[in-house]
Amino acid sequence: MNIKADIAIVKKELIEHKGSLFTAPAILVALFFVLVTFQTLLLGFEDFDHVVPFHEVFIMAFVASMAFFSIYMLITLFFYYADAFSADRKNNGLLFWKSLPISDLRILLLKLLTGTLVIPLIILCWVVVSSVASYFIGLINYNEFSGVIAPWTALSTLLQLFAYLAVALVIVLLWLAPFYAWVAMLSVFFKKWAIALAFVIPLVLIAVEEIFSFDAFQTSFVADFISQRFKGIVDHSIASDAAFNSRMSDMDFEFDSDNDLRGAVIFLERLPDMLWHFISHVRWISLLGGLAVSGLFVYIGSEYRRRFIQG
């Protein structure tokens, strides 16, 4: 096992995509900090007439950052996989990797590992950075916040939110792995055309299936699979758990009579319970089946690359 070669591949992937992984998020966080500070110092923030506990605003800032960067990450990963499996064919880079004592399958698996674990970890770090920026924005700009929290309290809150939401995010990414492996495999065959074909091929399959099914376009196994993959990560019983729903009923993210975002702190307290509820209802057999399909896509791509692509 050549650990140095493995690390070199991961580093190479991060360097080649440093624009979307480091530069763009840094610009977004900096713009957020500057624009909010500029608006508050020069234009005021008259519409904000609530005295809100700072801890609750800090939690909501993390959740908002998590939502934004999760969407950013899902889009980034799609374009990463559309490029990663074929990018080393540029500038004779493939000749270098083929000279190493490492198989094409291992190279592609390392690229898949980078997209599944390393890149999400980097994006999560940007969530933390944006939350820290929100903390300092609150300290500098707003006197409407009451009970400013100490740095160690903020750090403890960050670690809790980071750990729990990171677990949920990894599960979601593993669930979506077949989609990313699909576009990655296509990039081995078609390079830049992979992005378009990732959508066109399923649409063609759905159309052919509908034409030859003779049921007036009522069913499509391909369309049903794609639809379920996007919305079927948990089983249907998750919504009918009365005990859990009762425990979550007092979460309210609206201002109450005391101008208090009570739901934010309750959300933090209930997060372990929510995470376990989510994990216990994940369709694990379907998830493992999707990972097997992803592995098949990667294997097909590696075999084509090994047999037919020389550099």
Cα 243 to chain centroid, rounded: 30
What is the mean predicted confidence (pLDDT) over 152-173? 86
**Which amino acid is residue 157, in one-letter code?**
T
CA distance 63 to 61: 6
Cα(75)–Cα(81) distance, integer angstroms? 10
pLDDT of residue 40 exceeding 80 = no
Considering only residues 14 and 48, tell me which one the structure prediction assigns the higher pLDDT. 14
How many Å apart are CA 282 and CA 280, to the nearest integer? 6
Q: What average pLDDT score do residues 37-60 get?
A: 63
Cα-only R_g, the chain = 23
Average pLDDT of span 55-73: 83
Four-point Cα dihedral 75, 80, 83, 88, nearest 10? 170
Is the model's pLDDT at 158 over the cut of 90? no
Lookup result for tokens 């052919």: 208
pLDDT tens profile 240-266: 666 666 666 655 555 444 545 556 777
- Residues 60 and 131: their CA atoms lie apart, in Å, by 9
Comparing C-alpha atoms, which of 195, 296, 205, 116 is closest to residue 304? 296
**pLDDT digit string, tens, across residues 85-115:** 776 666 555 556 666 667 778 888 888 888 8
CA angle 208, 187, 173 (to 5 degrees): 85
CA distances from 201 to 35, 75, 93, 233, 292 (A): 43, 20, 29, 24, 21
Report the sign of the C-alpha dihedral through residues 63, 163, 23, 93, in that order.
Answer: negative
The C-alpha atoms of residue 47 and residue 302 are separated, in whole angstroms, by 57
- How many other CB atoms are found less than 10 A from the CB of residue 150? 8
Among candidate residues 50, 67, 70, 48, the one with its CA nearest the CA of residue 59: 67
Least confident of 67-71, 74-78, 199-203, 230-234: 230-234
- Mean pLDDT confidence for 131-136: 80
Q: In whole numbers, what is the pLDDT of the chain averaged over residues? A: 78
pTM of structure:
0.81
Q: Which position has the higher pLDDT, 50 or 265?
A: 265
pLDDT at 257: 46
Q: What is the pLDDT of residue 52?
A: 60
Q: Which of 80-84, 87-91, 204-208, 256-260 has the lowest mean pLDDT?
A: 256-260
| Residue 186 pLDDT | 92
